[in-house]
């Protein structure tokens, strides 16, 4: 009996450990067939931007920081695209047109109020738009694009 309980804790612990391990952000390009993996240190090496904004998921405005999505795409060697599909850890996905990325300049946030984000806190990567400075007519759409636990970007 003790062995069974110990085995159960070990199995449970190994599953939790997998969730706490560092995640990479994968970017694939249909045009080139290339796949680029970004670890936190790779995203931190890009020019950082900050957005202080309210969200429906936070009680007050937070400061989010990380590279612009356009910079991540460029770092992967993609010079032009028509759309991108972003996928989260839970397989939720959103698609944005290139014009939307250019117009709203979202960031791939790696930090919230200066601290790295855990998976349990919508991290490690969260696509953030400046909702406080987005015209009301676009807020519903941009809010729906704010995908968290981001793990994959497919560029077309």
Res 5: pLDDT: 38
| Total-model pTM | 0.85
Res 9: pLDDT: 36
Residues 6+ apart with CB under 8 A from 138: 104
Res 76: pLDDT: 96
Architecture (CATH level 2) of domain 23-155: Alpha-Beta Complex (3.90)
Banded pLDDT at 18 (limits 50, 70, 90): very low
Residue ranges covered by each domain of the chain? 23-155
Token pair 């612990």 in the structure block, residue: 13
- Residue 113's region, left for phi above 0, alpha for psi from -120 to 50, else beta, is left
Provide mean pLDDT across the span 42-46. 98
Q: What angle do CA 83, 92, 98 make, to 5 degrees?
A: 15
**DSSP secondary structure letters along the chain:** -HHHHHHHHHHHHHHHHHHHS---EEEEETTT--EEEE-HHHHHTSPEEEEEE--TTSSS-EEEEEEBHHHHHHHTT----SEEEEEETTS-EEEEEHHHHHHH--EEE-EETTEEPPGGGT-S-EEE--GGGS-HHHHHHHHHT---SEEEEEE-
Short-list 44, 61, 129, CA closest to 94: 129
Res 22: pLDDT: 67
Spatial separation of the C-alpha atoms in residues 131 and 54, rounded to whole Å: 7
The predicted-structure confidence for 121-142, as pLDDT tens digits, reads as follows: 999 999 999 999 999 889 999 9
pLDDT exceeds cutoff 90 at 62: yes
């Amino acid at each position: 009996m003790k062995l069974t309980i110990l085995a159960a804790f070990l199995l449970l612990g190994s599953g939790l450990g997998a969730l706490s391990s560092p995640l990479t952000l994968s970017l694939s390009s249909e045009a080139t067939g290339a796949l680029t993996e970004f670890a936190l240190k790779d995203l931190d090496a890009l020019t950082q931007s900050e957005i202080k904004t309210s969200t429906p998921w936070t009680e007050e405005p937070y400061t989010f920081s990380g590279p612009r999505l356009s910079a991540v795409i460029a770092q992967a060697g993609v010079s032009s695209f028509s759309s991108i599909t972003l996928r989260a850890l839970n397989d939720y996905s959103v698609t944005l047109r290139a014009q939307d990325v250019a117009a709203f300049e979202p960031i791939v946030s790696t930090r919230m109020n200066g601290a790295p984000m855990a998976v349990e806190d919508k991290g490690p990567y969260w696509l953030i738009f400046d909702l406080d400075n987005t015209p009301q007519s676009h807020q519903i759409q941009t809010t729906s694009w704010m995908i968290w636990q981001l793990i994959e970007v497919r560029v077309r």
